[in-house]
Amino acid sequence: MNLAVLNTAAATTEGTSGSGTFGMLGMLLYVAFFAVVIYFLAVRPQKKQQKSHAAMLTTVANGDSVLTSSGFYGVVIDVMEDVVILEFGNNKNCRIPMQKSAIVEIEKQEEN
């Protein structure tokens, strides 16, 4: 009688060890699936937006009207490598240097 119980316990142990391996494989597949989903829903669109913002900043030229990240509208007076000098309002003495990355929107100067 004890021998029958031991054989049943051994058979049960063998069955669970095989499903344990499948369980680990299934868990890895779930993790990989969710990693791919997060990449396509979060990382990829953010990189695409960063590329378009960088492309927009390369087109900044003197005379363009810009909107800064702080909500100020200004006109570009001078463009350097990382810095632009903006003129705010009608007062010609209000010129402030800002980083290019602070520019959110550009409205190109109309040429006659």
Q: Going from the first residue of the chain to its last (112 residues), give the mean pLDDT of each consecutive group of 10, the final group possibly shorter.
A: 54 53 87 94 94 94 93 93 91 89 90 62
Q: What domain range includes position 42? A: 1-58
Q: Are residues 44 and 70 in the same domain?
A: no
CA 35, CA 7: separation in Å to the nearest integer?
A: 43
Looking at residue 90, its pLDDT comes to: 82
pLDDT on residue 5: 54
2 lies in the same domain as 53: yes
Domain boundary (43, 58, 73) is at 58
Assess contact for 86 and 42: CB atoms under 8 A.
no
Of 75, 83, 77, the residue nearest 101 (C-alpha): 83
